Amino acid sequence: MVSARRSFEGMLPIAAMTRLCETLANTDGTVRFELDFGHDSLGTDYLDVHAEASLTLICQRTLEPFAWPVVVHTRLGLIRLERDEAGLPPDCEPLLVAEHGRLNPVEVIEDELLLALPLVPVNPDSSLPDEVTGHEPGQASTGEEHNENPFAVLRELKK
């Protein structure tokens, strides 16, 4: 694929990626991908991965599902030995290829999507429920309220 500078594009069902599905709230949908094999002017074999998907995650603030758009643009330097990683250009992430020289494109796309997921998924449009914040619905926070210091009692004991 590298010497022929092959390119592939298409759609993959999210449900076909079992490791990714374990982290999602819903496995519906597809991933649009483009894979470009080649080698650069320094002779480095590479695989350019471009993938786009809308993944359904569980918000860790509200515990409700939300859509997380993912766009991946990565250049993977194809290496056979771990020591070859040092010779990769700075814009290349290493991808260790088995001795037979084959790789599974679905696994590569799945790995890149897993790396693009947030460590703690939080819906950017979410807010904490009023029960948690202690605010009454419709009550505006003025900022002039003075919260009592929880250590004020200790200050009195010290005297």
Model confidence over 77-112: pLDDT tens digits? 999 889 988 889 888 999 999 888 788 999 999 999
Q: What is the average pLDDT across 38-48?
A: 88
How far from chain centre, in Å, is Cα 95? 18
pLDDT above 70: residue 38: yes
- Say what the pLDDT of residue 53 is: 96
Single pTM value for the model: 0.75
| Residues of the chain by 3-state class (helix, strand, coil), percent to 5 | 25, 30, 45
Mean pLDDT of 39-56: 91
pLDDT at residue 152 in the model: 74
Scanning the structure block, which residue is given the tokens 């939300």? 66
Residue 123 reports pLDDT greater than 70: yes
Contact (Cβ atoms closer than 8 angstroms) between residue 9 and residue 34: yes
Is 51:72 a contact under the CB 8 Å cutoff? Answer: yes
Per domain, the residue ranges of the chain are 7-121
Across the chain, mean pLDDT equals 86
Residue in 69, 73, 50, 63 with CA at minimum distance from that of residue 120:
63
The answer on pLDDT for 128 being more than 70 is: no
Integer-rounded Cα Rg, in Å, for the chain is: 24
- 140, pLDDT greater than 60: no
Residue 62: Cβ-neighbour burial (10 angstroms; 0-12, 13-18, 19+): middle
Residue 143 tokens, joined = 């900022």
> For residue 22, what are the CA distances in angstroms to 5, 44, 51, 131, 158?
34, 34, 19, 31, 54
Q: Is the distance from CB of 85 to CB of 68 less than 8 angstroms?
A: no
pLDDT at 135: 61
